[in-house]
Amino acid sequence: MSNIEKLGFIGLGVMGGRMCANLVKKSGMPVFGYDIDAANLSKLVEQGVQAAGSIREVMEQADVVFVCVPGEPQVRAVALSDDGVVAHARPGQTIVDMTTATVEINREVAAALAVKGADFADAPIARGMAAAQNGTLAITVGASPEVFDRIKPLLLNMGTEISHCGEVGNGQVMKLMNNMLVFQNVSALAEAMAIATGAGVEREKVFEILSKGSADSFCMRNHGKCITADTYPDNQFSTVYSLKDLRYALSLAETVGVDAAGAKVVEQRFLEAIDKGYGKFYTPVIYKLHEQDS
């Protein structure tokens, strides 16, 4: 990384802010941050981030620029607007988009940056807010081998599992499949709790016992706790955001000709939960749909 001296970070929200803080603490390099919400930026300045007043300012300062925004529309605006990332990119610069978005937007941005002589990697993140805080994210990367080798030491400041998935867009493919499986697991957990408690098993026993057998999983041990306690935070990955990611996965499934029937069922449950006012709550809140049915 001898030619990388300054870093940039665009998007300092719930996930990006925590990731940027770890980059400041561990990279040993100046980090220039920008967010449309001045309050988000102010919090990071207190932790050592150098405030930038615009995307342009970040691009002018940084050799490698990370982006973490809510989804595809925001990526399109940040990257492809008249005053966005591509407009101010320069030869030799590297842009790393850590947003969960679509494969198509990643490849579109990569192509536009290539015209400017800049490199691109998609590097979406998994494992949630606590992992972003602790620097233990799982990161799936789509990039050329050269770009992957260049950015991996930086990504290790934010995550512990850094996987090279192949060409640009493939990191996004694997993140979408990760989320699709998680969402279907959460739906299955909600069903299992509803059935077991309906049949007379105490709520506290259901996942405790299931986690001791072959049904055990990351979702069982983490999302299951929310259902057991009947507590669904509104500061973690919401049902609205989950629906967004699931629809990206369903769009990809349609593109490659796969009928993702199980994921479509979960889509309908997310829509029902949102309709009932649960959209801002953590995804396991879909269990509430079963409670109302009982």
pLDDT digits (tens, 9 = 90+) for 20-44: 999 999 999 999 999 999 999 999 9
pLDDT digits (tens, 9 = 90+) for 245-284: 999 999 999 999 999 999 999 999 999 999 999 999 999 9
Domain boundaries along the sequence of the chain: 7-168, 174-293
Catalytic residues: 175
Mean pLDDT, the chain, rounded, equals 96
What pLDDT sits at residue 235?
Answer: 82
What pLDDT sits at residue 225?
Answer: 93
DSSP 285: G
Going by DSSP bridges, is the β-strand pair 159-166/125-126 parallel, antiparallel, or unpaired? Answer: unpaired
pLDDT at residue 294 tops 60: no
What pLDDT sits at residue 33?
Answer: 98
What pLDDT sits at residue 253?
Answer: 97
What is 7-168's CATH number, 3.30.70.20, 3.40.50.920, 3.40.50.720, 3.30.365.10? 3.40.50.720
Contact between 121 and 147 (Cβ < 8 Å):
yes
What pLDDT sits at residue 128?
Answer: 85
- The rounded percent of the chain whose pLDDT value lies above 90 is 94
| Cα–Cα separations (whole angstroms), residue 284 to 64, 137, 229 | 36, 20, 11
Residues 6 or more apart from 24 whose CB is under 8 A from it? Answer: 31, 44, 47, 48, 49
Question: CATH fold of 174-293, please?
Answer: N-(1-d-carboxylethyl)-l-norvaline Dehydrogenase; domain 2 (1.10.1040)
pLDDT at residue 1 tops 70: no
> Confidence class of residue 237 from pLDDT cuts 50, 70 and 90?
confident
Which range has the worst mean pLDDT, 102-116, 133-147, 231-245, 251-265? 231-245
Distance CA 244, CA 271 (A): 11
Residues 6 or more apart from 243 whose CB is under 8 A from it? Answer: 267, 270, 271, 274
pLDDT digits (tens, 9 = 90+) for 170-197: 999 999 999 999 999 999 999 999 999 9
Please state the pTM of the whole predicted model. 0.92
Give which of 114, 109, 131 is closest to 14, Cα–Cα.
131
pLDDT at residue 292 tops 90: no
pLDDT digits (tens, 9 = 90+) for 33-82: 999 999 999 999 999 999 999 999 999 999 999 999 999 999 999 999 99
